[in-house]
Amino acid sequence: MVYKLLADLLLLVHLAFIIFVIFGGFLAIKNVKWAWLHVPKAVWGGLDEFAGWICPLTHLENWLQIKGGRSGYHGDFIANYIIPIVYPANLTRQIQLVLAAVVIIFNVLVYGYVLFLRRKA
């Protein structure tokens, strides 16, 4: 039971990490100190996608699921709403590369805006 709970919690943390990688630059608009936390995470997220690596969180989630006696999520909120976001069906290498490029370009634009605001101030 504990392993299942930990697997579910880690999946939520994984989703939060993905959201932070994509949108964390917006926090730097309010306070530039967020960039010190966000930029390394965004670089890791981009490298992870471009290189085709498997995130360490995925390995840990799988291990916790196995220790919890299940091979995957079935029939609950996590299975229906979170897993398809973190692990989309039909994800190909080409789609991964496009997503990585979109995330990087998006964050470069956000940080360009942050620099613009800092120079303006």
* Cα–Cα distance list, 69 to 3, 5, 65, 101 (Å): 8, 12, 6, 37
Record the pTM: 0.80
Higher pLDDT among residues 74 and 51, named by residue = 51
The top-scoring range by mean pLDDT among 32-36, 54-58, 89-93 is 32-36
Overall domain count for the chain = 1
Q: Which domain holds residue 14?
A: 2-120
Helix axes 93-120, 34-51, angle to 10 degrees: 160
Q: What is the DSSP letter of 92?
A: -
Q: Give the residue-averaged pLDDT of 52-69.
A: 85
